[in-house]
């Protein structure tokens, strides 16, 4: 996708949608990138944010892996009765 493709896409949008803040920001970033006054990455981010402005990010708690509780701390391992017996025998 080129800067021209992005500009053409925005120009084909209805005027009401073009006037939304997200699209105005994307246009500004595209113009700055085209004139070498801004970063291409900013133009890309502006386009992606405008395209995904209605997408709601939801945190899925079931996908979060918990790492705590799987391993005992070293001080807790020493309190293990079997380990105490083993350490005393040595």
* Whole-number Å distance between alpha carbons of 49 and 46: 5
Residue 2: alpha-carbon gap to chain centroid: 23
User: What is the arithmetic mean of pLDDT over 10-19?
Assistant: 94
CA nearest neighbour of 47 among 61, 30, 65: 30
* Whole-number Å distance between alpha carbons of 68 and 72: 9
* Whole-number Å distance between alpha carbons of 90 and 85: 9
User: What six digits make up the tokens of 56?
Assistant: 């709601």
Q: What is the pLDDT of residues 41-88, one digit of tens each?
A: 999 999 999 999 999 888 777 776 666 656 666 666 666 666 666 666
Look at residue 57 in the predicted model and tell me its pLDDT: 83
């Amino acid at each position: 996708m080129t800067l021209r493709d992005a500009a053409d896409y925005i120009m084909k949008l209805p005027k009401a949608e073009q006037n939304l803040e997200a699209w105005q920001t994307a246009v500004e970033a595209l113009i700055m990138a085209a004139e070498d006054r801004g970063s291409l990455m900013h133009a890309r981010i502006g386009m992606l944010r405008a395209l995904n402005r209605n997408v709601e990010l939801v945190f899925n708690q079931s996908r979060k892996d918990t790492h705590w509780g799987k391993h005992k701390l070293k001080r807790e391992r020493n309190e293990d009765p079997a380990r105490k017996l083993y350490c005393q025998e040595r």
